[in-house]
Amino acid sequence: MKTFLTYLDENDALNPMFSYGGSSTGPGMDQYVPVADLNAKKQFLGTVKSLNLDGNNKKIKKSDLDQVEKYADRIFASLGIDVEFTRHFLDRVNDTRNQRQITVAELTRLFKQSFKKYGKKIAQLGPDAEAVINDMKTDINMPFVLNLKGGELELVAKTVMRKKDFKTSGPKMSFENYINEKRAKQAVSQGKVQKLVTAHGLKFKGKVYKEIDMELVKINNSTEMVTFNIIHPPEIFGNKPEISFKALKRGPFMATDTSKINEAPRIPRKKGQPAGSDSHSDLYTDENPKGTIHGLKFATVKDAKASVSKIEGSGKKHAHKIQAAIAMEQRAKEMGKTAEAAVYRAYIEKMKKITKEKGE
């Protein structure tokens, strides 16, 4: 019986585009280069010592709060905001009504997560605005006011308290875990592989692609391998890479951003612009306009059927027709057009049978 590692070794031999090892152009799909920072532990311990992060039951001192303020000033400086604490803040942070001592680590997290999720929104509130930052994980609430001082916005943390279901009449900026919210957008979320996945900045068959859009085909639980069908870019359309479940969880594989579909207008590529540039195109757009099948729709079942007929009679190659149908099916699905998507799926399955017959 082969072990999983043996399977991976043999699978890599059969699929050299997923090889391990170094590359002058960067890592390939299913290829990871571990990086170790030998100073990380030393730096972390120094931070713990200076900020008293290891003391969950120790009262916060003025010197601790000064360190938190310096940290908050550094991250909010990019928004032109200076952070200040009131005299009352230090008394309230050590108040027994909090039930459990508020720690420096929790305050640091409060500013870090709120900056990531609400930083720009806070800056847009303007002078004299008031709101509450609420960490749902720790139940810590921090009411603040924005003052204009010397031409700079000053975020004044008025008080702080640990209280579940904190009530306020003003705006409440709540978060639970910004990092986990980002991870929810990854290829694997809560143990499930997303239907549409995009690989970012990875190499396939010797070429590095900015984005590779893939559709889930099957999952082999015994080998822990996931098979995808590449649907974009056109030059590698139809390839079916196998990627380990472990790699999908750790690598630069994200759930496809379908919000771009049917929202962002087509921006034609100008002369001299390279393919894949951010200055043109949009998700699932053909970089070769001459090859595009125009006029495809999915508003109604009738539109979908007419579009399938248009694809069929377009004179394009077999693979190109399938690509066009898959793109339209996914767009229909994302817009909640189930019946319309089914029209495209029926045509895709029909074309798959033809592909199989040709292979036989």
Tell me the HSE value of 267 on the side-chain side, using a 13 A CA sphere: 14
pLDDT given at position 270 = 55
Mean pLDDT along residues 306-320:
88
Mean pLDDT along residues 96-120:
92
Better-scored residue on pLDDT, 111 or 269: 111
**Does residue 231 have a pLDDT over 60?**
yes
Nearest to 262 by CA among 210, 237, 299: 299
- Can you read off the two tokens belonging to residue 275? 């393919």
Mean pLDDT along residues 178-190:
60
Mean pLDDT along residues 2-13:
36
Strand 152-157 relative to strand 81-85: parallel, antiparallel, unpaired? parallel
pLDDT given at position 68 = 95
pLDDT given at position 252 = 79
**Does residue 289 have a pLDDT over 70?**
no
pLDDT given at position 284 = 41
Cα separation, 239 vs 324, whole angstroms: 15
Q: Of 143-147, 272-276, 311-315, which range is least confident?
A: 272-276
Q: What is the distance, to the nearest Å, from the Cα of residue 146 to the centroid of all Cα atoms in its chain?
A: 31
Q: Of 64-73, 77-86, 258-267, which range is least confident?
A: 258-267
Mean pLDDT along residues 108-114:
93
Q: Please provide the average confidence, as pLDDT, over all residues in the chain.
A: 76
* Residue ranges covered by each domain of the chain: 50-177, 192-286, 293-359
pLDDT given at position 274 = 55
**Does residue 185 have a pLDDT over 80?**
no
Position 275 confidence tier, pLDDT thresholds 50, 70, 90: low
pLDDT given at position 339 = 87
Tens digit of each residue's pLDDT (9 = 90 or more) over 32-76: 434 444 454 455 445 444 444 444 568 999 999 999 999 999 999
Mean pLDDT along residues 99-127:
91
pLDDT given at position 179 = 44
Beta bridge partners of 147: 154
Position 355 confidence tier, pLDDT thresholds 50, 70, 90: confident
Q: Of 161-165, 194-198, 342-346, which range is least confident?
A: 194-198
**Does residue 305 have a pLDDT over 50?**
yes
pLDDT given at position 126 = 83
User: 324 in helix, strand or coil?
Assistant: helix
pLDDT given at position 358 = 66
pLDDT given at position 251 = 66
**Does residue 288 have a pLDDT over 60?**
no
Tell me whether residue 96 is exposed, middle or buried, using C-beta atoms within 10 angstroms of its C-beta: 0 to 12, 13 to 18, 19 or more.
exposed
Contact between residue 299 and residue 340 where contact means Cβ atoms under 8 Å apart: yes
Better-scored residue on pLDDT, 31 or 299: 299
119 vs 124, 128, 190, 229, CA distance in Å? Answer: 9, 17, 28, 39
Please tell me the pTM assigned to this model.
0.40
Contact between residue 262 and residue 285 where contact means Cβ atoms under 8 Å apart: no
Tens digit of each residue's pLDDT (9 = 90 or more) over 186-210: 778 777 888 888 888 888 888 888 8
Tens digit of each residue's pLDDT (9 = 90 or more) over 130-141: 999 999 989 999
- Can you read off the two tokens belonging to residue 5? 């590692």
Nearest to 331 by CA among 238, 245, 262, 244: 262
Position 360 confidence tier, pLDDT thresholds 50, 70, 90: very low
pLDDT given at position 215 = 87
